[in-house]
Chains A and B, each alone.
Chain A
Amino acid sequence: MASKIFSQSSSKTWPDFLLLGATWTTAISITVIFLWVVLSIVGQGLGQLSLEFLLTEPMNAGRDGGIAPMLISTLLILVVCLAVALPLGLGTALLLAEFSVSDKRFGQWVRRSLDFLAGVPSIVFGLFGSVFFSKILGLGFSLLSGGLTLACMVLPLLIRATEEGLRSQPASYRQGAAALGLSKTTTLFKVLLPAALPGLMVGLVLSVGRALAETAALIFTSGYVDRFPASLLDSGRALSIHIFDLSMNVPGGDHNAAASALVLLALLLILNGLAAFISLRWSTKIK
């Protein structure tokens, strides 16, 4: 209906033009801002970027040398975060969307807590992680402590996106499965989960993005040490903290900060592409 109105130029009145203009302006300005950010990072960072930059250790407080230990630490933190957040998130989303019908009040409480957690600033998660994981559980400054803190931070995002994905499946799927005599488990794994996969992937992509970009929650948990971590119990500097330190604390670190930002951006695009690819392969395979 809406597209019909816009396409019939003869019937356009001034409010239509105004609306059309406003829509185009917002759409174009969002694209321009995105391109501006990307181009300025690429412009500043591309000259510094080389294979050596990715494969060597930093020298002279990060002004020279590469970012290999930060890349490894960042990926390890992300692995810990997702290894904890994915099963917990999926479980909670299933509980909320499929099993909490009989206990509405409980579901509402969980949802309310999640919405609250989603709005908590990341530095609060950082302080919580620093006290709970690092001090009380005795993990100290470690990749494990950082990854667990990030898991707490991304759980609300992951759960809500997955829950929405499950909820948006029509009741007829469940009714059809019930009519065929499928058990709840079979319905879940064969019908609902594949159908809700796009929702889960949206949650995953948002979580990975938020985790990769995080500095405040990591500086007091996974820490500042810029050497190769020997285990998950070692401290390791995340790429985002490295960028922050180079641009705000190390005079003369700007060029390497820009190159690191470019690597972080590329990493984000690669991981998102990978998630989309897996999601596509998985859903076609099941169908």
Chain B
Amino acid sequence: MVHTLYLKRLGLVSLAFASLAACSSPSIDSSNGDLQGKIILTGSSTVAPLASELGKRFEEDHPHVRVDVQTGGSSRGLADARSGQADIGMMSRDLAIDETDVTAYAVAKDGVAIVIHADNPITELSPEKIVEIYKGDVTQWETVGGNDTPISVVNKAEGRSTLEVFLKHFDLKNSEIKAQIIIGDNEQGIKTITGNPDAIGYVSIGAAENSIARGEPLKLLPLEGIEPSTASVQDSSFPLSRTLNFVTSGEPETLSKAFIDFAQSSEVHNIVEQQNFVPIDFSK
């Protein structure tokens, strides 16, 4: 008797577990077309705040969906998308020619500008001079028409997409660069340069514009005669820019596809701008 009662209870418990599992497993409820489940994004720390905000807006429209955003850098985003650890990888650079096993979906653009302290009298540097400064051939501001002070070169850490964009544009190798300071995220770069009148670095234009608007002593240098601004990045006239991408391995699932479509739609342009990036208009 006791035995059958025990078995009955066990059956009930396992039934409860089964129904729990059915609730939590990512699936599409096709009966009313409402999306359900969880999307995991990992990758670029630059894209992560934007993806979080996009996720929150998406969750408002689809209450049964959870969008979990994790960071770790573009390389991790690519690796996790490949391994299936993440549904969508986030990358703050374009795919390389040999990275054909994944598909990239552009969600925003971001310009990279050469920045110096606002008190520095320099107003423009030619690409050749920038290369000489970063290679350590020019070590004094005086040589390029500035103050009689040594230059503090700020470079990005290995693996950062901004570094790759910078190196590619100026045709440099990271091993050739002689930097005094190595930094990680954009904000850290801005803080390093606003705290040192002799520093030179390169950061995201959107983040730099935001800092200048808040009164931080930062100056953006024009590149090849073109003013760095969100406008010149938008019309692609500014030469140093990168694309912020979502990447998936193979064809994305229905849920991921819906989120990617949402992230590329014009209704999220205000979110993109709010996070200091440049929206891409796909209707053109």
The reply to whether B70 and A225 contact each other, CB–CB distance below 8 Å, is yes
Q: How far is the CB of B201 from chain A (nearest CB, A)?
A: 14
**A residues in contact with B214, CB < 8 Å:** 252
Q: How far is the CB of A136 from chain B (nearest CB, A)?
A: 13
The reply to whether A249 and B210 contact each other, CB–CB distance below 8 Å, is no
A-contact bits for B195-224, CB 8 A (1 contact / 0 none): 000000000001100110010000000000
- From 35 to 90 in chain B, residues with beta carbon under 8 angstroms from any chain A beta carbon are 40, 45-46, 48-50, 52-53, 56, 68-72, 85
Q: Which of A61, A140, A219, A225 contacts B53 (CB 8 A)?
A: A61
**B residues in contact with A141, CB < 8 Å:** 40, 68, 70
Q: A154 CA to B48 CA in the complex, in Å? A: 29
* Residue on A nearest B184 in the bound complex, by CB: A248
CB of B147 within 8 Å of the partner chain: no
The reply to whether B69 and A249 contact each other, CB–CB distance below 8 Å, is no
CB of A170 within 8 Å of the partner chain: no
Q: Please choose the segment from B133-141, B185-193, B233-241, B252-260 that sits at the chain A interface, where 4 or more of its residues have CB less than 8 A away.
A: B185-193
Can you spell out 14 A-B residue pairs with CB atoms less than 8 angstroms apart? A60-B274, A219-B72, A220-B70, A223-B68, A224-B69, A225-B69, A226-B52, A245-B71, A248-B187, A248-B188, A249-B187, A251-B206, A251-B207, A253-B187
The reply to whether A235 and B68 contact each other, CB–CB distance below 8 Å, is yes
CB of A182 within 8 Å of the partner chain: no
CB of A279 within 8 Å of the partner chain: no
- Chain B's interface size range is 20 to 34
**B residues in contact with A250, CB < 8 Å:** 49, 187
Given A60-B274, A224-B48 in contact, is the A248-B68 Cβ separation under 8 Å?
no
Q: Which of B50, B71, B187 contacts A251 (CB 8 A)?
A: B187
Q: How far is the CB of A58 from chain B (nearest CB, A)?
A: 9
Q: A245 CA to B53 CA in the complex, in Å? A: 14
CB of A247 within 8 Å of the partner chain: yes
Q: How far is the CB of A221 from chain B (nearest CB, A)?
A: 10
B-contact bits for A198-238, CB 8 A (1 contact / 0 none): 00000000000000000000011001111100000001000
- Consensus secondary structure, chain A interface: loop
The reply to whether B49 and A61 contact each other, CB–CB distance below 8 Å, is yes
Given A61-B275, A250-B49 in contact, is the A224-B70 Cβ separation under 8 Å?
yes
CB of B276 within 8 Å of the partner chain: yes
Q: How far is the CB of B63 from chain A (nearest CB, A)?
A: 13
Q: A226 CA to B185 CA in the complex, in Å? A: 19
* Residue on A nearest B59 in the bound complex, by CB: A227
**A residues in contact with B69, CB < 8 Å:** 224-225
Given A61-B53, A226-B52 in contact, is the A249-B45 Cβ separation under 8 Å?
yes
Q: A237 CA to B74 CA in the complex, in Å? A: 20
A-contact bits for B255-284, CB 8 A (1 contact / 0 none): 000000000000000000011100000000
* Residue on B nearest A135 in the bound complex, by CB: B85
B-contact bits for A71-115, CB 8 A (1 contact / 0 none): 000000000000000000000000000000000000000000000
B-contact bits for A234-261, CB 8 A (1 contact / 0 none): 0100000000010111111100000000
The reply to whether A235 and B207 contact each other, CB–CB distance below 8 Å, is no
**B residues in contact with A247, CB < 8 Å:** 187
B-contact bits for A21-62, CB 8 A (1 contact / 0 none): 000000000000000000000000000000000000000111
The reply to whether A251 and B70 contact each other, CB–CB distance below 8 Å, is no
The reply to whether A235 and B52 contact each other, CB–CB distance below 8 Å, is no
